[in-house]
Amino acid sequence: MTVDVVAVALGARSYEVRIGPWLIDRAGAEIAPLLARPRVAIITDDTVAPLHLDRLTQAFRAEGIDPVALALPSGEATKGWAEFARATEWLLEQKIERRDVVVAFGGGVIGDLVGFAAAVLRRGVRFVQIPTTLLAQVDSSVGGKTGINTAQGKNLVGAFHQPSLVLADVDILTSLPPRDFLAGYGEVVKYGLLGDAAFFDWLEANGPDLAHDRAKRQQAVLRSVQMKAGIVERDETEEGERALLNLGHTFCHALEKATGYSNRLLHGEGVAIGCALAFELSQRLGLCAQESPSRVRAHLRAMGMKVDIADIPGDLPGAEALLALMAQDKKVVDGRLRFILARGIGQAFITDQVPADVVLGLLNDALAQRAA
- Tell me which residues touch ligand GLY (CB under 6 A): 139-140, 143, 145, 242, 245
Q: Determine which one of 216, 217, 242, 295 is catalytic.
A: 242
Residue type, 126: R
Dist CA 326 CA 278 (whole Å): 13
Which phi and psi (to 5°) does residue 262 adopt?
A: -105, 180
284 in active site:
no
Dist CA 148 CA 238 (whole Å): 18
Is the dihedral angle over the CA atoms 125, 128, 133, 139 positive or is it negative?
Answer: positive
Smallest separation, CB 228 to ligand GLY (Å): 7
Q: Determine which one of 26, 52, 126, 145 is catalytic.
A: 145
Q: Are 47 and 75 in contact (CB under 8 A)?
A: no
18 in active site:
no
Return the number of the residue (143 or 268) whose C-beta is nearest ligand GLY: 143
Angle between helices 319-327 and 249-258 (to 10 degrees): 110
**268: Cβ contacts below 8 Å, ≥ 6 apart:** 134, 135, 182, 183, 184, 185, 186, 187
228 in active site:
yes
Residue 148 belongs to what H/E stretch? strand 145-150
Q: Are 317 and 270 in contact (CB under 8 A)?
A: no
253 in active site:
yes
238 in active site:
yes
Smallest separation, CB 194 to ligand GLY (Å): 11
Return the number of the residue (267 or 295) whose C-beta is nearest ligand GLY: 267
Return the number of the residue (107 or 143) whose C-beta is nearest ligand GLY: 143
Residue nearest ligand GLY by beta-carbon distance: 245
Smallest separation, CB 314 to ligand GLY (Å): 26
Q: Are 47 and 27 in contact (CB under 8 A)?
A: no
Q: Determine which one of 63, 76, 238, 241 is catalytic.
A: 238
Alpha helices in the chain (DSSP H): 27-31, 48, 54-61, 81-93, 108-120, 134-135, 178-195, 197-206, 214-234, 249-258, 267-284, 291-302, 319-327, 356-371
Smallest separation, CB 242 to ligand GLY (Å): 5
Return the number of the residue (182 or 245) whose C-beta is nearest ligand GLY: 245
Q: Report the b/e string of 123-138 with b at 16+ CB within 10 A.
A: eebbbbbbbbbbbbbb
> 171 by DSSP, 3-state: which?
coil
- The candidate with the shortest Cα–Cα distance to 87, out of 68, 72, 105, is 72
Dist CA 197 CA 163 (whole Å): 29
Return the number of the residue (19 or 247) whose C-beta is nearest ligand GLY: 247
Smallest separation, CB 17 to ligand GLY (Å): 13
Q: Determine which one of 249, 297, 306, 331 is catalytic.
A: 249
Return the number of the residue (139 or 169) whose C-beta is nearest ligand GLY: 139
Return the number of the residue (230 or 361) whose C-beta is nearest ligand GLY: 230
Residue type, 291: E
Smallest separation, CB 134 to ligand GLY (Å): 14
52 in active site:
no
Side-chain half-sphere exposure of 27, counting CA atoms within 13 A: 34
Dist CA 275 CA 280 (whole Å): 9
Q: Determine which one of 18, 154, 217, 228 is catalytic.
A: 228
Smallest separation, CB 187 to ligand GLY (Å): 8
> 4 by DSSP, 3-state: which?
strand
267 in active site:
yes
Active site residues: 123, 145, 187, 228, 238, 242, 246, 249, 253, 267
